[in-house]
């Protein structure tokens, strides 16, 4: 039943995300054609502020989810009820705190937004609409966690998808017919609340044993919530500063227009990265069992195989970014919406490094003990923000990505230390040298493919973009097969793929 739920959740999640992403890209194009680009920058800025405000969540959802898995597996309804009431109590406190902080931050907005093209009362209204959307999550959306923990997330996904489709249709009307960003923002708020209310109703109906009960500090202390939250909090703070400050930095130093242009790139980048994450997230749950039930030799063998898989995928996406991202932006949005080639180069490098070492992140998350690498997380956030603020003055938005890559290096190294020192007991230097070789091979591949694409010199069009993409894909696959075929890791990958195809064929026949 777990496998059936996993497949069903994954299929619903991927299909929903693909559909909503296509809507999102189309709406973004309409946005750029009908509304000032500064409004897109404003949306990105407030999204960054919302991301930072999510720090108040303290990682409580992570801790509650972890506890719910065990309670649901043991069919301990009383414990599930207590956990959900703790969740409700803490989220109401957090929601109240976020409201107070949001009002306080409002008075600092003039120090960040210096554009004169947008009326200030318009900025105020949009800000509080965005904050209301966040608050609705804390006060009415927390119950959806129960579906996720009980492997019934497909129920939430179906409801979310229907509401998002309806919201996107109204958003199109708001942009094209009324050219109103306020209506556009209010639509997101309304349908977000509607989806959460429907999901809450479904949860109450499915888990009718969930009833209000009094909870206190002792209930939380007895479940080690405060210890777990403390250990996870520094990671959360650092990661939010590392990943959530981009629009704020760009708006403060380069203005809302550049922030708006960046939002188009990030929309596509986030969509691609999320699809990759959804494709690979099924691997993660099995790693915990592997690490704690098998020998370190077996764990290391699997690690190397998955490591090669992530590296090859990261290399492919990096190649597509460097060769075709700018061309797609030019075709879809127009030349006025292009950022520098250096920004795309650094974005591609960031994707490659992130994917190349994503397997280390997966293994690291099976270990816990977040205090062991919290220093590296802090260094990543500090270095990213400081380097970005220094270089953005000299190199523009490319300086932001240089800071991002520099900060990522600390995150990667911290994860590697945990995995190789405490989980696998293997040599870090040998591992890093192997990845240095991988990286050199990938750089050579991309340079050759770039020369071939330049030599072919097809006229810019969607058809030529597709043909060039196919050419690059085939070339990279052939080279990687030739280079890695004799390695043990590549043969293991082929074995896994063969087994998966066999299982799928068997299911289809049944």
**pLDDT score of 505:** 62
Instruction: Check residue 371 and report its DSSP letter.
Output: G
> Which residue bears the tokens 């919290």?
374
**pLDDT score of 3:** 46
Of residues 218, 88, 63, the one with CA closest to residue 144: 88
DSSP per residue, 243-290: HH-HHHHHHHHH-HHHHHHHHHHHHHHHHHHHHHHHHHGGGHHHHHHH
**pLDDT score of 281:** 57
Q: What residue spans of 321-427 are helical by DSSP H?
A: 326-332, 341-356, 358-365, 374-395, 397-417
**pLDDT score of 213:** 83
CB under 8 Å to 269, separation ≥6 — which residues? Answer: 347, 351
**pLDDT score of 2:** 45
**How many other CB atoms sit within 10 Å of the CB of residue 350?**
19
pLDDT along the chain (510 residues), means of 10: 53 70 83 83 78 68 70 81 84 85 87 75 85 82 78 82 92 91 89 91 88 81 73 76 81 85 85 71 52 67 86 92 92 88 93 88 70 84 92 90 92 89 85 91 92 86 91 91 87 75 58
Please check whether residue 248 is in contact with residue 45, taking contact to mean a CB–CB distance below 8 angstroms: yes
**pLDDT score of 19:** 78
CB under 8 Å to 47, separation ≥6 — which residues? Answer: 130, 247
CB contact burial 139-168 (16+ within 10 A = b; e otherwise): bbbbbbbbbbbbbbbbbbbebbbebbeebb
**How far is Cα 350 from Cα 353, in angstroms, rounded to an integer?**
5
Predicted TM-score (pTM) of the model is 0.69
SS3 366: coil
SS3 211: coil
């Amino acid at each position: 039943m777990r496998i059936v739920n996993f497949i069903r959740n994954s299929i619903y999640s991927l299909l929903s995300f693909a559909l909503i992403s296509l809507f999102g890209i189309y709406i973004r194009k309409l946005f750029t054609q009908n509304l000032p680009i500064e409004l897109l920058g404003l949306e990105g800025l407030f999204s960054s502020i919302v991301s930072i405000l999510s720090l108040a969540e303290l990682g409580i959802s992570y801790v509650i989810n972890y506890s719910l898995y065990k309670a649901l597996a043991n069919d301990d309804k009383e414990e599930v009820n207590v956990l959900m009431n703790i969740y409700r109590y803490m989220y109401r406190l957090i929601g109240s705190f976020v409201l107070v902080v949001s009002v306080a931050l409002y008075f600092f907005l003039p120090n960040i937004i210096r554009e004169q093209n947008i009326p200030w009362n318009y900025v105020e209204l949009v800000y509080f609409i965005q904050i209301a959307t966040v608050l609705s999550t804390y006060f009415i959306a927390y119950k959806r966690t129960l579906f996720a923990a009980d492997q019934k997330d497909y129920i939430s996904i179906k409801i979310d998808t229907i509401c998002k489709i309806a919201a996107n249709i109204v958003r199109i009307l708001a942009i094209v017919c009324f050219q109103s960003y306020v209506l556009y923002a209010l639509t997101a708020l309304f349908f977000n609340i509607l989806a959460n209310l429907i999901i809450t109703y479904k949860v109450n109906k499915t888990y009718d044993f969930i009833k209000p009960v009094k909870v206190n500090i002792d209930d939380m202390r007895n479940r080690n919530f405060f210890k777990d939250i403390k250990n996870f909090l520094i990671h959360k703070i650092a990661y939010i500063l590392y990943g959530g400050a981009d629009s704020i930095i760009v708006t403060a130093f380069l203005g809302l227009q550049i922030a708006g242009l960046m939002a188009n790139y990030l929309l596509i980048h986030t969509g691609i990265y999320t699809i990759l994450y959804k494709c690979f997230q099924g691997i993660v749950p099995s790693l915990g069992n592997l690490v704690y039930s098998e020998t370190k030799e077996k764990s290391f063998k699997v690690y190397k195989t998955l490591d090669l898989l992530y590296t090859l995928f990261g290399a492919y996406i990096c190649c597509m970014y460097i060769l075709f991202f700018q061309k797609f932006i030019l075709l879809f949005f127009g030349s006025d919406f292009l950022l520098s080639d250096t920004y795309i180069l650094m974005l591609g490098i960031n994707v490659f490094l992130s994917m190349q070492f994503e397997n280390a992140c997966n293994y690291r998350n099976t270990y816990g003990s977040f205090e062991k690498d919290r220093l590296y997380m802090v260094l990543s956030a500090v270095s990213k923000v400081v380097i970005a603020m220094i270089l953005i003055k000299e190199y523009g938005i490319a300086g932001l990505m240089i800071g991002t890559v520099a900060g990522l290096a600390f995150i990667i190294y911290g994860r590697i230390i945990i995995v190789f020192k405490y989980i696998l007991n293997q040599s870090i230097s040998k591992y890093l040298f192997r990845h240095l070789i991988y990286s050199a091979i990938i750089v050579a591949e991309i340079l050759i493919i770039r020369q071939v694409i330049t030599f072919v010199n097809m006229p810019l069009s969607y058809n030529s973009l597709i043909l060039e993409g196919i050419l690059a894909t085939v070339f990279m696959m052939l080279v990687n097969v030739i280079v890695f075929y004799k390695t043990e890791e590549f043969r293991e990958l082929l074995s896994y793929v063969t087994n998966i195809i066999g299982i799928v064929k068997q299911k289809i026949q049944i």
